[in-house]
Structure formats: C-alpha cells, structure tokens
Structure 1
Amino acid sequence: MSPLSLAAADIDNEIINKILAGDKRQFEQLMRRHNTSLFRLGMSILNNDADVEDVMQTTYINAYQHLASFRQESAFGTWLKRILINECS
C-alpha cells in the first residue's frame, strides 16, 4: 500500500471511529471522499447515470447500517466498492 493510500485509509478509519462513537454527521465526510470513485465504478458497470445514483444511494445506506461490522482490515473504499458491485448485480 502506498503512503498516500495508507494516509487515506487512516483518515477513513478516524472518521469511522467518530461515527461509531456517536457523531453520525461524519458519515457525510465518508460519502464525499468516495463519491467520485463509486460513481466511476458504477458507470463502468451500469452505464446509466440514474441507475448509478440509485445504486450508490443503496450502497451508502447499506454501509451506514453495517458500519459497525467493518473490521478495518482492508480499506473502507474497497469495502464500499464491494457493496456497490454486489448492488449492481
């Protein structure tokens, strides 16, 4: 993992810890950090803006509901992308 990726993963994990500690508003920061990459991935699979936006919304809801089960063994972005891919199928 590159130093830049490590720093990004550390930032995500800090935000996740704040959310799990009760600061639910921090989830918006995670969304902002990952919107572009999720949208690009979704477009590569679905090739339709509206469908991608729907899948992204479902992805974020699922991630929020299951955030406590994210083990922080991999990058949050990887976990989020896997949720999106599953939602696309």
Structure 2
Amino acid sequence: MHGLGGIGKTTLALHYAHRHRTDYTLIWWINAASPDEIETSLTTLTHTLVPGWAATAGRSAQVAWAMQWLTWHPGWLLIHDNVEDWLCSP
C-alpha cells in the first residue's frame, strides 16, 4: 500500500501483521528509508536468528545470510516501512 505520509499506512500494516501473525513463519519489519537502513534491518534479522555467528560476521555477510535465509524459508512477511520514491523508481 502507498499514500501520503501520516494517513495510517504503518498502523494498518502493524494491525495486519498482528492479526495474521500465525499465518507466517516470520514477520519482520524493514526500515526502507534508505539502502543503508534496509541493510541494517537485515543484519538485525541475522542477529536475531543466529546471534553467535552474527557477532563475528561482517555486515555484508550478515545481509547475504538474511537474504539466503529468506530464500530457503517460505511463508514470511516483510513489511517495508518508510519507502521513499527512490525504491519505487523504474
């Protein structure tokens, strides 16, 4: 969903995620305000799922691990919050 700021998109996404939490194997919030924020959200996912390994791995390895985990494990929901126009451009 998309629209002007402040109309309740984030709140609606939060309510959806809460209501359907049993329908997904993982629900993860991605701060998509910038490419760096997306990477930070993915590294946080890695730290949550494999904290011991993530503590010693570099940032790019953590991002790659999160992306690979998502590829191998179906049934997840990623909510991209604060998406800017740069992400939606062709």
For normalisation by structure 1, the TM-score amounts to 0.33
Structure index of larger Rg: 2
Higher strand share: 2
Q: Decide which structure has greater helix share.
A: 1
TM norm structure 2 = 0.33
